[in-house]
Amino acid sequence: MTTLPRRPAAGLQGSHCSGCSVTVYPADESCPRCGGPATPAALSGAGTLWTWTVQRYAPKSPPYKEPPGGFTPFALGYVELKEGVRVAAVLDVDGLDEIRIGMPLTVTAGDGVPRARPTHTREEDS
């Protein structure tokens, strides 16, 4: 693969198998279903929340480094993209009480785990 799947400037990069039509994230050189070759595929990042949970305790360290203000609980979820791929992402929401299965989200690549934020009407139309 010439494109790193988690490089923010590259967007959300997956791969697609022309043999069995499976699309995956992160990108891989071979298909996890049939073992055939896979080619790079740019993913839209647009999707809906499939499931989620709240991380209420700090992860083990290392590699986790506690931020200066201390640990704050955060939401993690699987977002099902329009391409049919489910991507694990940190949910960047204003409050944990606003999270709903099926809510529209936009996933972006970042350093480490992808991030998802609620999609606003203008983003859905574009």
pLDDT of residue 8: 46
pLDDT of residue 74: 93
Q: Is 40 helix (H, G, I), strand (E, B) or coil?
A: strand
Enter the pTM of the model: 0.81
Candidates 101, 49, 125, 118; CA nearest to 80 is: 49
pLDDT of residue 1: 39
* Low pLDDT (below 70) residues in the chain: 1-10, 121-126
Distances in Å between the Cα of 116 and the Cα atoms of 18, 45, 47, 67 are 28, 9, 9, 20
User: How far apart are alpha carbons 80 and 114 in whole angstroms?
Assistant: 13
pLDDT of residue 117: 96
pLDDT of residue 124: 46
